[in-house]
Copies of this chain bind each other. A is one copy, B any other.
Amino acid sequence: MKIGVLGTGTVGRTIATRLVAIGHEVTMGSRTADNEQAADWVGEAGDRAAQGTFADAAAFGEIVFNCTAGVASLEALGSVPGEDLAGKILVDVANPLDFSRGMPPTLSVSNDDSLGEQIQRKLPDTRVVKTLNTVNANVMVDPGRVPGEHDLFVCGNDADAKAEVSELLESFGWTRERIVDLGDITGARAMEMYLPLWLRLFGTFGTSELNVRVVRRPDS
């Protein structure tokens, strides 16, 4: 499959590398067509890897991953001509973490809205699926790095889009039983507002390779 990855940071490079490794063609997008980190990645990732602008990557992809920094996501997506994302699935991996006020970061949007919803409103013809934002980049593409069973959340307004993204997640190693569908895109509030707890657990345990497993009373 042809996939566009927006963003050249750790998350974008990790996901793009994994996508190429499992057989996809990937164009990595950034603000400029000659971004150095993207160029380094293309050099390492081989024949199925290319780079370009955000618009180039979005136009290339049948599915597009938003791996830009959350506070820059709307601007990045705004630089893509509408037709290049219309009808497509956009996998929104970003968290709206605002580091401008120091550590720990706050969320630039939360509580009665979310980045996932903002993106869906900005791109009404795109099928936005929020997922992967609750684990670190290594765990996103290789859940076995965290032992035992643990869960990944997805949400979005389009059931077919969630099913297609779930298949892609399975190819990363997530089992269907551990992919928890939280419903429509407003679930992004819950998934993004979990980040302060994730950050706190990171600090407590000294590792970002952690996740949660949902456990519940049976037959209730």
Binding site for B on A (CB under 8 A): 101, 106-107, 110-112, 145-150, 153, 180-183, 187, 189-191, 193-194, 196-197, 199-201, 203-207, 209-218, 220
**Is the pair A215, B215 in contact by a Cβ cutoff of 8 Å?**
no
The one of B189, B201, B220 that contacts A196, using a Cβ cutoff of 8 Å:
B189
Provide the bound-state CA to CA distance between A205 and B180, in Å.
10
Cα-based distance from A133 to B148 in the complex (angstroms): 26
Task: Please tell me if the beta carbons of B217 and A110 are within 8 angstroms of each other in the complex.
Answer: no
Contacts of A203 in B (CB 8 A): 183
Does more than half of chain A's interface fall in helix, strand or loop, or is it mixed?
mixed
- For A106, give its contact among B112, B180, B181, B201 (CB under 8 Å): B112
A211 and B207: CB pair below 8 A? Answer: no
Select A191's contact among B107, B148, B197, beta carbons within 8 Å. B197
Check if B212 sits within 8 Å of A217, measured CB to CB.
no
- Choice from B187, B209, B217, B220 contacting A217 with Cβ under 8 Å: B209
Which residues from chain B contact A213 at a C-beta distance below 8 Å? 212-213, 215
What is the CA–CA distance of A203 and B153 in the complex, to the nearest angstrom? 14
- Inside 8 A of A194's CB, which chain B residues have their CB? 193-194, 196-197
